[in-house]
Amino acid sequence: MASTNGAGLSADEKLHLIHNNLQEVLNPEIIEEIVRKNERPLRIYLGTATTGKPHCGYFVGMLKISEFLAAGCEVTILLADVHGFLDNLKAPIELVEERVKYYRFAITEQLRAVGVDLTRLKFVTGSDYQTKGETGAKYFMDLLRLSTSVSAHDASKAGSEVVKQVESPPLSSQIYPLMQALDEEYLGVDAQFGGLDQRKIFTLAAEVLPRIGFKKRAHLMNPLVPGLQEGGKMSSSDPDSKIDLIDPPEVVRKKVKKAFCPLRQVEGNGILAFVEYVLLPASALKNNGTPKFVVPRPDAEPLEYSSSAEMRKDYEADILHPKILKDAFSEALLELLAPIRKAYEASAEWQEVEKKAYPPPPTEDKKKPKKPKNLGTRFPGHKATGAVEAKPDGHVEGPGAQEVSVGKSPEEAMKRLSMGSKGHARQGSKG
């Protein structure tokens, strides 16, 4: 399915692929008109802020992208580096360039793992057009124009499900959703795709872009897959809720073993949801369109599922027990992750990028700490007070965190965000 380009499909078949497994679509008439006219491909973009490490939850979006491509759509993946530090400094400028590289590696291999033809896909880095040259100047002016048409209340409300919420939010949390709306115009798309948590930003975009003379777009939303722990979605900021794409097998099995998967409970069950939205669709790509998830049993015939409805019914009846479900889930997930892990282990460059993009926090010394001596600030070996510490979700803390996150000057910030000149050519870009 992912290798086709929509050739030979009817408009109804294309629309089915585009809408399949989505939670909601806003302004679907925009999509239908373009597909039925068949004068050009439907253009869709998915934006992802380059903050925490991409995890297995990203497969939901990648599998949907495979269906968009199968329907003949043109798809752009926006690596939203500027958004990364607008979101409460989750991606410090010091690390933004390396994180863009990491995301490009991770998403590319993830798409390959589900059979996506990368030659028909565009990768764009946000700062390439948001901050550079004449286009960057025009973008900034349009952002100012847009800011005059949106209240602070509406901007804050739009970002409330996406931008990290704190007691005293920075102004950047209001700029974030305005830029996400404006990206639709600058990427030249007909529709934006994302998770259901993006709905308020999507609604804002549809309402406010026409106020400054730009057209309204359609918006396609995936359901949110629950995390491995009780409550909430799979998130980079909660290590226990997610499995990283490059986690080794023993770590994957350990996390799955600890996952929230109560007997007979299907609601909020992250394991069942992941099978429904990732493992079953991924298996269909390998089985000529037929989804299949097999659960071996030690003392009986294996259970085989082609739909989530059958699986949920058996789980509620305790025919499908949590332990055997988790065992089968682990093995199916490891099979899906194997080519990604193999690519990571074979790439010294990717491994080096990971170290730079996500530096590990300093290890704690278990020895009894010595009482510090006050030797003043001019003794040899004195450490500056501006030291920072990287946290698991990607942000940094410490006396110098603000300086690291936004740069010491506008020139430094622009330099750090100027990533298009070397080694960042768009992959699979068409014209």
pLDDT per residue as tens digits for the range 316-369: 999 999 999 999 999 999 999 999 999 999 999 999 999 999 988 766 555 556
Q: Is 60 exceeded by the pLDDT of residue 95?
A: yes
Assess whether 192 and 46 both reside in one domain.
yes
> Is 132 part of any domain?
yes
Q: What gap in Å lies between CA 82 and CA 42, rounded to an integer?
A: 26
Answer yes or no: is pLDDT of 3 > 90.
no
Confidence of residue 287 (pLDDT cuts 50, 70, 90): confident
- The pLDDT, as a whole number, for residue 385 is 44
Same-domain check for residues 116 and 264: no
How far apart (Å, rounded) are the C-alpha atoms in residues 181 and 201? 7
Give the tokens for residue 106: 């991770």
Do both 197 and 257 map to the same domain? no
Tokens 């253009």 belong to 43
> Same domain, yes or no, for 155 and 260?
no
Statement: residue 382 has pLDDT above 60: no
126 and 207, same domain (yes or no): yes
For residue 186, what pLDDT band results from cuts at 50, 70 and 90? very high
Determine the pLDDT at residue 118: 84
Do 215 and 266 fall into the same domain? no
**pLDDT band at residue 383 using 50, 70 and 90 as cut-offs:** very low
419, pLDDT greater than 70:
no
In the chain, the number of structural domains is 2
Shared domain check, 69 and 163: yes
400, part of any domain? no
Q: Which of 316, 348, 380 is the last residue of a domain?
A: 348
Angle between helix axes 348-357 and 322-346 (nearest 10 degrees) is 110
What does the pLDDT look like over 37-88, one tens digit per residue?
A: 999 999 999 999 998 899 999 999 999 999 999 999 999 999 999 988 787 6
Domain contains 373:
no
Write down the pTM of the prediction.
0.82
Last residue of a domain, one of 222, 254, 284: 222
CB atoms within 10 A of CB 307: 12
pLDDT at residue 376 tops 90: no
**How many CA atoms does the CB half-sphere of 417 hold within 13 Å?**
30
* CATH code for the domain of 298: 1.10.240.10
- In 3D, which of 17, 47, 48, 75 has the Cα closest to residue 285? 17
Q: Where do we find the tokens 């069942």?
A: 272
Is residue 41, in this structure, part of any structural domain at all?
A: yes
The rounded mean pLDDT for the chain is: 85
CB 22 within 8 A of CB 75: no
* pLDDT at 117 (0 to 100): 82
Concatenated DSSP letters of 25-75: EESHHHHHHHHHH-SS--EEEEEEES-SPPBTTHHHHHHHHHHHHHTT-EE
Query: The CATH number of the domain where 121 resides is what?
Result: 3.40.50.620
At residue 381, the pLDDT reads 47
pLDDT confidence of 210, banded at 50, 70, 90?
A: very high
Boundaries of domain holding 243: 239-348
Q: Is residue 171 part of a domain?
A: yes
Q: For the chain, give the percent of residues with pLDDT over 90.
A: 64
